[in-house]
Structure 1
Amino acid sequence: MNIPVSTVLDVADDGTLLINTNIDGTSQLWEVRNDDQRVQLTDLSSAATGSYLPGTRQVVVSSDTDGNERHQLYLLDPLSAELPVRSLPPLVDDPAHIYHLMSLDAEALIYSTNRRNEVDFDLIRRSHRDGTETVLWDGGGSFAEVSASPDGKYLVSNAMSLQPASNTLRLLDLEAGSWRRITDENAPGHYGAVHWLADSSGFLTSQDASTDFASISYYRVVDQSWHLFLAEEGVNVSLSLNDSGKRALIQRLRDGQTTLSVGDLTVSNGFPELGTETAVKLPTEGYGRGVLSADGSQLAVTFSAPTFPDEAFSAPLGVELAASPLGLQQRTFAEGRALAAGLSVTEVVRIPTRDGEQIPAFVTRGDNSAVINIHGGPESASLYQWSPRNAALILSGHTVVVPNVRGSSGYGRRWMSLDDVELRLDSVQDLVDIHRWLVESGVDGGRVALYGGSYGGYMVLAGMTFYPEYWAAGVDIVGMSSLVTFMENTSPYRRAYREREYGSLEHHRQVLEDASPLPRIENLAKPLMVIHGANDPRVPLSEAEQVAAAVRANGSECEMLIYQDEGHGLSRRKNQLDAYPRAAAFLRRTLG
């Protein structure tokens, strides 16, 4: 836990990196300057993130209070402020509501906020010059991304739809003041960030509406038409452009591992064309994600692997891209890396299921005890990257399995849809298939534990109540113990979002009840540890309190750890260093 991780947020045109690092205990903003001097920008009471104003070193900062997720926005000039700043005046003084940065250019920023009715998020454009605000959208819903065309005529919003793991795109003509839908909001499909071409004739975005794995499509404004631009079988392809839309960074994701390349875009006969790609050399197999500077002259990359904690890298690109692979310069160096480098190799495997499917998983072999660590989401994925909690379990001697059970992203829309609503318990049964595979691999079937956070915490509780005979212990971190009470008590804006995946209280109450651990808690007889943040706006603390009380009422062991200055998960190292070593010790004891 004491090995710091560094994540690239942005890179300025002069090569200065804006990073997050938790070197001092919470994730704060730092700069890595061209002389490799590291300068701390923020020392706020909670974690901070941010982006550069294009073409400048001014930073738009976002931070909440003690994990409550009511993020506020601030403006910081690192060249004039006394660093690190411990407080900043907010751009909008309203801590009771949420403010998310959606888009940023030299003239203005666009944010979304739920201040109108607590549930729906409106889009507001705020001028940097005088702070004047214009409402761009107040028609309901919630937004993931917003992108403005270079000529200032159009705005594309990426908003959640009512389909599971899906969203819809709308195009705003700023001159006419009119919106139009440009995707079918009743059809399943997830669209990624929108990146405009230099001439504003159209944009590129990743999508899985027309392909099973994510591909890149082009939308042309003049005739409102969609065209497939880049697709590869069994690979998730995504793309980002610099501010002028002339240089592209391409990420290919397969089995939780990535490759990166850069290439230049031209427009011919109204369609974009990608020139020869230059590969980016990553340190080893792992997960890398990058960002281009506004002018396209700089590339910055965060890289991580199971034995390689997250570090920042960069490379100048020049006017013309070289044909040979692009080398990266490492810009951050965490103390304690030797411990990570000495861990056992993590394998990429496929685990067969009772119905002919295969569960993708990462496995690190240890003794004949095992811990299955299930990710949250559920429309998320475990990646081939560093995890200090997994490292602790490996160093404890356990075999560690990190699966992407059905419902996970990264393996095609079909796989991601196999746990929706009435299919919820099919993903729980995947855990039984993993247990069977472990026993066949030499693990003692009586020494297998479940471990997970958020939806992964729900999976721990569901596994231990629906299939109790398979598990020796469980660690539930900010998990849901009842899908009914979770829906009733979560934040209103979260309920509207989560009903797409789990089902609604109005139409699917019995489905939610039937998939909930709490009504069958008498089955949970093995030791349980519960970890939760008191300020969690997603999974309320009451979910932890009710399951702990029920387990104890049955006479079973339950250790509960509550942290008053945390939200959905533990972001402060002091709390991590209290909770996670205790979880590791709990598993060592209960697994023998």
Structure 2
Amino acid sequence: MTTAGAGAGAGAGAQAEADRVLGLADCAPDGTLRYGSHPDQVIDLWWPRGLDGEGSGLPFVVLVHGGFWREAYDRRHISPLAAHLARRGHRVASVEYRRVGGAGGHSTTLEDVERALEAVRRTQAAQFRVVGHSAGGHLALWAASRPDSGITKVVALAPVADLARADELGLGGGAVLDLFGGDLSDIALADPVALLPTGVPTTLIHGRDDPDVPIELSERFVAAARSAGDEPRLIALEGTGHFAVVEPGSDACDILLRELREPQEPREP
């Protein structure tokens, strides 16, 4: 485990951090890609700007947003991060998916993420790195367990990395139970800790002061992954809550950029 100072700092509360990040203006994409007929089956695309002098040969990045899988939260709140990555030379795709309270739910939501990544692989990049935040971190870790995904690395930001434990803790007011429509009999089919090893290089970045998704979930995932033969990394950030990891220009975001640029090849599971 690596520990680093990052994010809002000890003097800023988690709510102030959330207000600051969620209050950022939406950024318009350069293009869109549809992978289905439902309005939520869309992927926003950003092209590299290279304002920091980097070339466009950096890894293609796929973003998966969070929000406890609920309809109230869509990809717009992560668009500033997408634009930030593009300004630093990355091609970026931000995935939308059907969500709980709308047309989504356990199988539908996961199916959408799988279809979206296949569309990215087919039309944009044969291989890519996936960044998922919160519930999107869960979806990214789940996607890495799928065969022939095209994912060369996962960077999971404050992820819901252990669904069973998240349900025990009642995170998000029962968000896991809502995702499964009140029936958890199939939870192991979607729980990252039950789908190991993946063989995909994986880094988890998590704030120690996260009130929404406790770092305990990332610690449990890392322990389970190492027991299964994977070699994940956990970067624990002091003085950091749930949202600084997706805040453009934050120390936590700089750590994300370094992780995305680190050469790393997938291993056999």
Q: Normalising to structure 1: TM-score of the pair?
A: 0.36
Q: Deviations over 1:166-193 (max 9, x none)?
A: xxxxxxxxxxxxxxxxxxxxxxxxxxxx
Match of 1:449 in 2: 129
Mark the CA change 1:384 to 1:459 in structure 2 (over 3 Å): closer, same or farther.
closer
User: Equivalent of 2:244, from 570, 575, 581?
Assistant: 570
Give me the whole-angstrom Cα distance separating, in 1, the residues matched to 2:79 and 2:149. 31
Match of 1:433, SS state, is: helix
User: Equivalent of 1:586, from 246, 250, 259?
Assistant: 259
Match of 1:352 in 2: 35
Give me the whole-angstrom Cα distance separating, in 2, the residues matched to 1:400 and 1:559. 23
Q: Tell me the CA shift for residue 417 of structure 1.
A: 2.8
Mark the CA change 1:467 to 1:454 in structure 2 (over 3 Å): closer, same or farther.
farther
Give me the whole-angstrom Cα distance separating, in 2, the residues matched to 1:516 and 1:351. 27
Q: Tell me the CA shift for residue 529 of structure 1.
A: 1.0
Asked if 1:535 is matched to 2:209, the reply is yes
Give the partner amino acid of 1:584.
L
Match of 2:52 in 1: none
The aligned runs of 1:42-441 (5 Å cut-off) are 45-47=11-13, 304-306=25-27, 346-353=29-36, 357=38, 359-366=41-48, 367=56, 369-377=59-67, 378-379=69-70, 380-383=73-76, 387=80, 389-407=81-99, 417-420=102-105, 424-441=106-123
Q: Tell me the CA shift for residue 347 of structure 1.
A: 2.5
Match of 1:277 in 2: none
User: Equivalent of 1:500, from 147, 168, 178?
Assistant: 178
Match of 2:43, SS state, is: strand
Alpha-carbon contact 1:551-1:557 (below 8 Å) kept: yes
Asked if 1:458 is matched to 2:133, the reply is no
Asked if 1:561 is matched to 2:235, the reply is yes
Alpha-carbon contact 2:74-2:96 (below 8 Å) kept: yes
Give the partner amino acid of 2:97.
V
Q: Tell me the CA shift for residue 562 of structure 1.
A: 1.2
Alpha-carbon contact 2:206-2:215 (below 8 Å) kept: yes
Match of 1:520 in 2: 195
Give me the whole-angstrom Cα distance separating, in 2, the residues matched to 1:305 and 1:572. 13
Q: Deviations over 1:213-236 (max 9, x none)?
A: xxxxxxxxxxxxxxxxxxxxxxxx
Aligned residue pairs: how many?
A: 242
Query: Which residues of structure 1 form unaligned runs of 5+?
Result: 1-24, 28-43, 49-62, 70-301, 308-345, 409-415
Alpha-carbon contact 1:452-1:477 (below 8 Å) kept: yes
Mark the CA change 1:432 to 1:503 in structure 2 (over 3 Å): closer, same or farther.
closer
Q: Deviations over 1:47-74 (max 9, x none)?
A: 49xxxxxxxxxxxxxx68xx8x9xxxxx
Alpha-carbon contact 1:396-1:588 (below 8 Å) kept: no
Give me the whole-angstrom Cα distance separating, in 2, the residues matched to 1:547 and 1:303. 31
Give the partner amino acid of 1:449.
R
Match of 1:509, SS state, is: coil
Alpha-carbon contact 2:204-2:218 (below 8 Å) kept: yes
Q: Tell me the CA shift for residue 591 of structure 1.
A: 6.8
For the aligned residue pairs, the C-alpha RMSD in angstroms reads: 3.4
Give the partner amino acid of 1:557.
E
Structure in which a larger fraction of residues adopt helix: 2
Give me the whole-angstrom Cα distance separating, in 2, the residues matched to 1:588 and 1:572. 17
Alpha-carbon contact 2:167-2:174 (below 8 Å) kept: no
Q: Tell me the CA shift for residue 561 of structure 1.
A: 1.2
User: Equivalent of 1:488, from 152, 160, 168?
Assistant: 168
Match of 2:30, SS state, is: strand
Give me the whole-angstrom Cα distance separating, in 2, the residues matched to 1:581 and 1:468. 29
Q: Deviations over 1:503-550 (max 9, x none)?
A: 44xxx231223221111111x211111011223333222210011122
Alpha-carbon contact 1:473-1:591 (below 8 Å) kept: yes
Q: Tell me the CA shift for residue 551 of structure 1.
A: 2.4
Q: Tell me the CA shift for residue 375 of structure 1.
A: 1.0
Match of 2:205, SS state, is: strand
The aligned runs of 1:33-44 (5 Å cut-off) are none
Q: Tell me the CA shift for residue 386 of structure 1.
A: 5.5
Flag the structure with larger Rg.
Answer: 1
Give me the whole-angstrom Cα distance separating, in 1, the residues matched to 2:104 and 2:159. 17
Structure in which a larger fraction of residues adopt strand: 1
Q: Tell me the CA shift for residue 371 of structure 1.
A: 1.2
Alpha-carbon contact 2:130-2:154 (below 8 Å) kept: yes
Mark the CA change 1:464 to 1:560 in structure 2 (over 3 Å): closer, same or farther.
same
Give me the whole-angstrom Cα distance separating, in 2, the residues matched to 1:488 and 1:390. 33
Identity across matched positions, percent: 18
Q: Tell me the CA shift for residue 448 of structure 1.
A: 0.9
Match of 1:173 in 2: none
